[in-house]
Each structure stands twice: as C-alpha cells, then as structure tokens.
Amino acid sequence: MFKKLKQKSLQKQTERNIRQRDASQVNEPLTKLGLLVDESEFQDFEELYDFSMLLGIQRKDVKVFSFLPTKQKLPSLRQNQIYHKDFTWKGEIHNQNAREFLEMPFDVLIGYYKGSHEFLDLMVSASKAKFKVGVARADPRFYDLIIEIEPEEISAFKTELKKYLKILKKIS
C-alpha cells in the first residue's frame, strides 16, 4: 500500500514541477552540463566526463548524479548518488547533495537513462536546468530535446548531441 502511495505522490510532484517550469532561458549557450544517470544501467562515468572535452567545456563544469535502487554494502567514493530511500512517500527528496544538484542552473541537463523512471523523472522535472535532453523512449513532457538512441550507444549519442547543440547554437 505504501509503495502505491509513494508512486502516486511522486507522479503528483512530477506533474507539479512540469507546470512550474521556467523555460525562458532555454536558448542560453552551454557552459555547465549536468547528467542524471541510472547507475544500475550505466557505470562508466569517466566516459561521460570525457564528453565535456568534445563539447568544449571544462571537466569542472560537468556534474554527474546517479540513482541506485538500494544502497550498496561496499563503500563508494561517489557522493553524488541518490537511493530509493531518499524519496519520501510525499515525493520529497531527503538528500542534500541531490537538492544542491537540482538547484544548480545547468545550461544543459541530460537524463541518461532508459524510458520512464519515476525517481529520475522527478529529479529531471525538479531541476533548474535551462535546457533538458533525454534519450530513447523518454517522456517528452520533461525534455526539450530527445535523441532516439539507446544509452548503451554512447559514442552515437555523443555525436548526435554535439550535432544538435551546434544547430541550436549552444556550442560553437
């Protein structure tokens, strides 16, 4: 019963975030990049950080935040992680690092995960990012651009994203 209540609350919060989004700065050039990743599907964060060089931004201007269903027993050096338990049944996030990440005014935020994901969808909708990019089967309500490439095909995704960011004059 609590699981269904939590899902419904997450959906309501996500819908509220979508309605309140400010899209007035969607055309800003790219200087800061944020990525939201489902770590159970994709673990090679170095490849994502290397992506910044391809886009002409410094590595320090790239932030990657990941979701894991449950906290691992082994200690991790990654601090930018959020877990299922960090979301309350009201759809609120009780993770200080996650809240700080969502408050950052990224010029581009990439939701790098497959299809619909109730927790990451809530984070994308709550983000203060100016321009949001999703991958294959993403919900178009959350994103300004969806690139129909599976997350496993990172090199193809990088090429396509760079092409579209040039067309949109976010990079030179």
Q: pLDDT tens across 92-129, in order?
A: 899 999 999 999 999 999 999 988 899 999 999 999 99
How many residues belong to the chain? 172
Q: Which amino acid is at 115?
A: G
- What CATH topology corresponds to 32-75+84-167? Rossmann fold (3.40.50)
Choose between 27 and 78: higher pLDDT.
27
Give CA–CA dist 75/59, Å, rounded: 25
Q: Where are the beta strands (DSSP E) in the chain?
A: 33-38, 62-68, 81-83, 108-112, 132-135, 145-147
**pLDDT reading at 70 higher than 80:** no
Average pLDDT, integer, range 45-71? 86
78 pLDDT above the threshold of 80: no
List pLDDT tens digits, range 5-45.
778 888 888 888 888 888 778 888 999 999 999 988 888 88
Average predicted confidence (pLDDT) for the chain: 87
Tell me how far apart the alpha carbons of residues 154 and 138 are, in angstroms, rounded to a whole number. 16
